[in-house]
Amino acid sequence: MKLDAKLIRYLSSEDYRVLTATEMGSRNHEVVPTALIGHIASLKHGGTEKYLSHLAKHNLVARTINARYDGYRLTYGGYDYLALKTMSRRGSVTSVGNQIGVGKESDIYIVANDEQEQRVLKIHRLGRISFRTIKSKRDYLQNRKTGSWQYMARLAAMKEFAFMKVLHENGFPVPTPFDCNRHCIVMSLIDAFPLCQIREVDNPGRLYSKLMDLIVRLACAGLIHGDFNEFNILVGEDGEPVLIDFPQMVSTSHRNAEMYFNRDVDCIRTFFRRRFDYESSIYPKFSRDAEREFSLDVQVAASGFTRKHQQELEQSDDDNEDQEVDADDAVDYSNLSQAKVTFKKGAIEMDNGDGFPSDEIMKLNSSVESLSMNPDES
Ligand code: ADP
Ligand code: MG
């Protein structure tokens, strides 16, 4: 999907008001009745339909004629627009450049702020592929049948931002998180190549142990990356790895923690064997009886990205298992020589400000009548 940043300049404030009204209405209606959009927008001089057709021409909304009524639904383009508009008002993104990545569930762009500082915009597209399955299987959507692709993509962004923030504040090598709105996050641009593109390294053993140390440091902090592979590890000129892509992170208390942990370790072992012909008998093993040193997973939960959110995301992976959490589980890092890392307790305090629209998500079930038009909503 192409991101049309130029539109931000061309839409009038009435267009924006009508688009925002469509977003609000779409929390309860997959197709928002035109009259309802008019009611929420309550434009001084009317003309909602004119603005809606203008928005539809630019693919920000799509007209849908349904058996019972005519209406519009918000498109991904419209949702992108709303997020970019909010982030540009905050000054975190003021121009959009090239697309540098397209994943199954995200689009990545180079962007910049007013100081011409280059950054990375990641737009979550969760639901682009799997929405149909989610919708058919999940009863949690029953009270919120509509807008669920927005909800899921937004949850994924919220989760990624919450984890990146906690990891960054605790000295883990991850991009600097700058902003989060709706399904988008803005982070620092890492000047490095993904490991998958690196054919040769001076000292594979050194990189290997840095990566294993990272897995262990995460686990000592209560976390497992869950997708620790050559695509999500960037390696700079200095040979230092930087970790990206956090929507699938799990707590070491997760009942499948051992499987996730071992999978991350095996990914690195296999990659090093194939690419660099490097094999080591030293690798970390997961065990449930060691003491955990610090609980970043608990800190993330305290940030507004709660266990309920986590469960909703996990369910979207077509994983039907119940998510039992056993708080006493932890990790054994004793197999790895230099792995011990201590964290300063109480160092993290997540602010529940701008980037965390958790209240709003809670409001998703409230009736449209109770939603008021707030042009500054974030
Ligand atoms: P996905 O969820 O689609 O896998 P990722 O977050 O892994 O998305 O990003 C996809 C690709 O975009 C990465 O493999 C990397 O090449 C590039 N990328 C993502 N974030 C950054 C960043 N902060 N700096 C530089 N490149 C990045
Ligand atoms: Mg990735």
CATH of the domain at 70: 1.10.10.10
Q: Select from 1, 102, 108 the residue to mutate for testing ligand 1; criterion: most ligand atoms less than 8 Å from CB.
A: 108
- DSSP H or E run through 343: none
Position 126 in a domain: no
The Cβ of residue 369 has, within 10 Å, a number of other Cβ atoms equal to 10
Position 376 in a domain: no
Q: What is the CATH number of the domain that holds 247?
A: 1.10.510.10
Position 241 in a domain: yes
- What is the arithmetic mean of pLDDT over 339-358? 25
Question: Of 107, 213, 227, 245, which residue is the catalytic one?
Answer: 227
pLDDT greater than 90 at residue 50: yes
pLDDT in tens, 187-243: 999 999 999 999 999 999 999 999 999 999 999 888 999 999 999 999 999 999 999
pLDDT greater than 90 at residue 332: no
- Which domain, by its residues, includes 41? 1-90
**pLDDT over 90 percentage in the chain:** 53
Position 84 in a domain: yes
pLDDT greater than 90 at residue 49: yes
Predicted pLDDT of residue 267: 97
pLDDT greater than 60 at residue 8: yes
Position 156 in a domain: no
Q: Side chain identity at 244, as an amino acid letter?
A: I
The pairing of strands 106-112 and 95-102 is antiparallel
CB-based neighbours (< 5 A) of ligand 2, an ion: 231-232, 245
Burial 233-252 (b: 16+ CB within 10 A, else e): bbbeeeeebbbbbbbbbbbb
Label residue 291 by pLDDT band (50, 70, 90). Answer: low
Q: Side chain identity at 264, as an amino acid letter?
A: D
- What are the helix (H) ranges across the chain? 7-10, 13-25, 34-41, 48-57, 76-90, 131-137, 148-169, 204-220, 257-276, 296-302, 307-316, 358-362
Position 79 in a domain: yes
Q: Ligand 1: residues whose CB is within 6 Å?
A: 100-101, 103, 105-106, 108, 120, 122, 175, 187, 189-190, 194, 231-232, 244-245
CA separation for the pair 109, 112 (Å, rounded): 10
Locus of tokens 């909010």: 86
Q: Can 227 be counted among the known catalytic residues? A: yes
Predicted pLDDT of residue 312: 79
Position 174 in a domain: no
202 lies in the same domain as 343? yes
36 phi, psi to nearest 5 deg: -65, -40
**What ipTM does the predicted assembly reach?**
0.99
